[in-house]
Homo-oligomer: A and B are copies of this chain.
């Protein structure tokens, strides 16, 4: 089993979807349907590009290593690598709901 498959299996518990996109922003590995892929990548790529440019506008030497959206019952985590992006959709633990950010 490849390293990526192992990593995907390790996080499968709370993770509802995992998507890896290549340099062109398209999905190269995913645990979700094609329709979910294209919907998520379309939106997330726009936001990540915008967020990264904002970070660089404020300080060109800086960079964004993780973008995390907390929603009502899910979280979307995006790791914007140079030639890939890892997008994880995970459930929020009941205990975390309403937990204050540290």
Contacts and interface: CB of A to CB of B under 8 A. Distances in A.
A72 interface: yes
Given A39-B58, A47-B51, A58-B43, A101 B72 contact: no
A6 to B, nearest CB: 14
A51 B69 contact: yes
Interface in A33-69: 39-40, 43-44, 46-47, 50-51, 54-55, 57-58, 62-69
A69 to B, nearest CB: 6
Nearest to A76: B55
A71 interface: yes
Given A47-B50, A50-B47, A50-B50, A55 B77 contact: no
Contact of A70 (B39, B50, B64): B64
Interface of A: 39-40, 43-44, 46-47, 50-51, 54-55, 57-58, 62-72, 77, 79, 88, 101
